[in-house]
Amino acid sequence: MKFCVIGPTYPYRGGIAHYTTLLVQHLRKEHEVLFISFKRQYPDWLFPGKSDKDPSKRPLTTEAEYLLDPINPLTWWDTIKRIQAWQPEIVIIPWWHWYFVPAWTVLSQQIKRLSSNPRLIFICHNMAPHEQGFMSKTALPLATKFAIGKGDGFIIHSQPDGRLLHQYLPEANYVVTPIPTYADLGIVDTSKIVLPVTLPDDRPLLLFCGIVRPYKGLDVLLDALAICVKERPLHLLVAGDFWKNSEPEYRQQIKELDITEHVTILNEYLPDELLAACIDRSDVVVLPYRSATQSAIIQTAFGRGKPVITTNVGGLGEVVENGRTGLVVTSEDPQGLANAVDRYFSEGLAPVFIENIMEKNGRFSWKNLQTLILKLGSQ
């Protein structure tokens, strides 16, 4: 079967770039795939981080054609011409931010007019922005209809996002499935990778990783840590670049909580090898999100056999099985989070959780996602 996949890949960074790259790699094992990526993904003013480029020494890559600039309409038509020449049977486009509304609206309309009559599948990573303002709440339903309303099928990664999709598009044909594993990042042995920070080796290590944004609840974790260290020695590694230069406010909270000796901050984007090393070095990954749809960090941790403590928001509680592969607590509850951390160590839950993770990783296979795409593409 002939596919066309549109989306980010190396040199762009992040979970969605990894997702589309891994998807294309797995599709190419059995099918012909044209992969179209970005000449430019975001303008500088829209990306408050340090860079949207991936600094990994061994980046995840696959062959792609860099044709598309979401704010340059001339490239939209170049993309359509290339797709028309390819004559795909299925076109796959990711949806995660309404910045892409103009480009996706035009592309989807033109794709549905192609002579090959391809099925159009949208993979919806986020149905709504993590931090919403007035305009996003009021304009998002209409914008979503324009951008993805021509889709023949939708892959959704959490039940709440499925319900939100049906609010916007009541007739949408969708399936809900977890994000597949990120075990295929290609980083096997991290024993020789030296972390750019010094960590104590006489106490358990908690890991909070990824871009630090308000919805991810680092402030809640710091409050919980202040409770935890009264009972047992622990250390927290916060690894990831801080959104909109917010590091000083977290350092102030750490100082006020008097937990400076229990926290190490690594304020930089984690290339693949460093992310893997941080996960392997930790005893448990902690993701105290206030809101979410899903998390590539969880699938990266699970892919490396590492348990996760997280909150019951979005699809996180659907992926982490409470009491089997990790612990799931109520969001914005420092005491509840502290209790979960204490339980994890006092009951010695790591070995049984790791065993269960390795048994369950089959449900997170890329083959399963491919099967669902083919099913949607045939309906």
Strand partners, 60: none
Is the separation of the CB atoms in 204 and 235 below 8 Å? yes
In whole angstroms, give the CA distance from residue 59 to residue 49.
19
User: Which pLDDT score, from 0 to 100, does residue 130 have?
Assistant: 62
* Cis? peptide before 11, omega within 30° of 0: yes
End-to-end C-alpha distance for the chain, whole angstroms: 15
CATH at 215 = 3.40.50.2000
pLDDT in tens, 334-354: 999 999 999 999 999 999 999
User: Which pLDDT score, from 0 to 100, does residue 182 have?
Assistant: 85
pLDDT in tens, 364-373: 889 999 999 9
**148 and 105 both lie in a single domain:** yes
Residue range(s) defining the domain that contains residue 200? 185-363
Q: Is residue 79 a part of any domain in this protein? A: yes
Tokens linked to 231 = 């009972």
Q: Is residue 137 a part of any domain in this protein? A: yes
CATH at 171 = 3.40.50.11930
Q: Is residue 378 a part of any domain in this protein? A: no
Strand partners, 364: none
Rounded to the nearest 10 degrees, the angle between the axes of helix 247-257 and helix 218-228 is 20
Q: Is residue 374 a part of any domain in this protein? A: no
pLDDT in tens, 262-290: 999 999 988 889 999 999 999 999 999 99
Task: Give the chain's mean pLDDT.
Answer: 91
Domain count, the chain: 2
Amino acid at 29: K
**165 and 289 both lie in a single domain:** no
pLDDT in tens, 286-339: 999 998 878 889 999 998 999 999 999 988 998 999 999 999 999 999 999 999
Rounded to the nearest 10 degrees, the angle between the axes of helix 73-86 and helix 101-111 is 30
In whole angstroms, give the CA distance from residue 299 to residue 320.
10
